Amino acid sequence: MTGPLESASAAAPMMSVEARADVLARLARVGGQVQGVARMVEADRYCLDVLDQIASVRAALDAASRVVLRNYLDRCVRRALAEGDPLVIEEVMRAVGRAK
């Protein structure tokens, strides 16, 4: 799904190079964590240990989400505000709701 700010920033990359690298590294780690959890389930490990690892995966995804949200606010929203985009506040509210 795209938002009104996407087309406004088509000339510049959506994410900074640093944010993109950070998010990709975090997601790669999450992928490894998920595979580890799957191996734990296959090995019939103790349920609370599996739940702890699932909580760790969620926390790692939340951290990646915060990086994306910060980048969105810093790049996309800042640009839209400077251009006087009237839809920016509505989109920000949706973004914050998704990121929590």
Per-residue pLDDT, averaged over 44-73, amounts to 97
The whole model's pTM is what? 0.82
Asked if pLDDT for residue 31 goes beyond 80, the answer is yes
Are 23 and 67 spatial neighbours (Cβ–Cβ below 8 Å)? yes
User: 40-54: per-residue pLDDT in tens?
Assistant: 999 999 999 999 999
Asked if pLDDT for residue 29 goes beyond 90, the answer is yes
User: 7-28: per-residue pLDDT in tens?
Assistant: 544 567 899 999 999 999 999 9
Q: Got the DSSP string for 28-80?
A: HHHHHHHHHHHHHHHTT--HHHHHHHHHHHHHHHHHHHHHHHHHIIIIIIHHH
CATH number of the domain at 16-99, please? 1.20.58.1000
Instruction: Show the tokens assigned to 99.
Output: 């990121």
Q: Tell me how long the chain is.
A: 100
